[in-house]
């Protein structure tokens, strides 16, 4: 058996491939060639005499041995990076890289203003922000922070509230409503053209409604099923159908009169967004500074979203 001693590049490679389930996407994240990344993983597997990934021409999946490896390596790698960052920043202040995972809508609504302010105060820190729809284990996947709705945060994480409660919004163009009329209750949507959204796991996202304790989830139908929010918005702008968005993602279009909102009384405020992170023994100066800034900028009081 060859010596299985590992460097940070090998550990980063395993975590990136596992998170992306793709050598090509992981190589882009790591700024290396796909060939070089594949070679790194192959050499690591040879040294461990264990296959970490099952590969086909179309997919990459973590093996059971790979899962165990990731569960052990993820937290250890974060502790190691925190120790290195602590040494680097001992005299020079916060530096290094902070990795954050968030839903795209959460990043736009609540996280980006915090990131911008942080970087203005700490120019030696680099922030690597990954937006994706799926829920991830931020420790196993090598992230320092996550941003999710409060109900989706694991119970063992430390939580800092961000922003106002989120709300959904059903919108369409004035031209659409002139042609098809307005739904008055959620079941009316079953007779309307709706732009559906496919989630990263392949499921179709149901439309959620609630009023006076009555909860409704609808599998709407329509001419389009899309998986990219910007394309969904573009389709709604072309009057192809109604769209179901987070309110902050269409607020500008509503205020400009491009979209009109319906069923607003069926879309009450939901969970607040939260920044969350694990309890670490030796957090880096950058992590401490980011936490301090988040705590110093409490969310606005509840009000109209």
CATH of 8-62 among 3.30.1960.10, 1.10.420.10, 1.10.10.10, 3.40.50.720? 1.10.10.10
CB 154 within 8 A of CB 266: no
Comma-separated ranges of CATH 1.10.10.10 domains in the chain: 8-62
Q: Is the pLDDT of residue 125 over 90?
A: yes
Proportion of the chain above pLDDT 70, given as a percent:
91
pTM score > 0.75 for this model?
no
Comma-separated ranges of CATH 3.40.190.290 domains in the chain: 168-266
Comma-separated ranges of CATH 3.40.190.10 domains in the chain: 69-164+271-296
Between strands 214-218 and 60-62, the pairing is unpaired
- The set of residues, in sequence order, having a beta carbon less than 8 Å from that of 81 and lying 6+ positions away, is 8, 96, 284
* pLDDT tens by residue, 5-64: 667 778 888 888 888 888 888 888 888 888 889 889 888 888 888 888 988 777 788 898
Beta strand spans in the chain (E): 53-55, 60-62, 96-102, 125-131, 145-149, 158-165, 168-172, 195-197, 207-211, 214-218, 224-226, 243-246, 260-262, 272-277
* pLDDT tens by residue, 233-248: 999 999 999 999 988 8
Looking at domain 168-266, its CATH class is alpha beta
Looking at domain 69-164+271-296, its CATH class is alpha beta
Proportion of the chain above pLDDT 90, given as a percent:
39
* pLDDT tens by residue, 154-188: 889 999 988 767 789 999 999 999 999 999 999 99
């Amino acid at each position: 058996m060859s010596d299985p001693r590992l460097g940070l590049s090998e550990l980063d490679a395993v975590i990136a491939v596992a998170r992306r389930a793709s050598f090509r996407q992981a190589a882009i994240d790591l700024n290396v060639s796909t060939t070089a990344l594949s070679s790194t993983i192959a050499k690591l597997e040879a040294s461990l005499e264990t296959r970490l990934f099952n590969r086909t021409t179309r997919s990459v999946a973590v093996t059971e041995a790979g899962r165990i490896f990731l569960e052990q390596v993820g937290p250890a790698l974060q502790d190691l990076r925190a120790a290195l960052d602590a040494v680097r920043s001992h005299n020079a202040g916060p530096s290094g890289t902070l990795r954050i995972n968030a839903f795209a809508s959460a990043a736009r609504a609540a996280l980006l203003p915090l990131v911008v302010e942080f970087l203005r105060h700490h120019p030696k820190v680099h922030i690597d922000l990954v937006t994706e729809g799926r829920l991830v284990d931020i420790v196993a996947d090598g992230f320092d922070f996550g941003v999710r709705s409060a109900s989706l945060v694991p119970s063992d994480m430390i939580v800092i509230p961000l922003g106002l409660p989120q709300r959904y919004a059903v919108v369409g163009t004035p031209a659409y409503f002139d042609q098809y009329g307005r739904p008055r209750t959620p079941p009316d949507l079953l007779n309307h053209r709706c732009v559906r959204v496919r989630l990263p796991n392949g499921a179709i996202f149901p439309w959620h409604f609630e009023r006076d304790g009555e909860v409704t989830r609808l599998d709407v139908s329509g001419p389009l099923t899309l998986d990219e929010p910007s394309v969904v918005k573009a389709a709604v702008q072309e009057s192809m159908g109604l769209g179901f968005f987070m309110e902050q993602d269409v607020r500008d279009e509503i205020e400009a009169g491009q979209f009109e909102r319906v069923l607003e009384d069926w879309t009450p405020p939901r969970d607040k967004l939260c920044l969350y992170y694990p309890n670490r023994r030796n957090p880096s100066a950058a992590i401490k500074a980011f936490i301090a800034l988040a705590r110093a900028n409490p969310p606005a009081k509840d009000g109209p979203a």
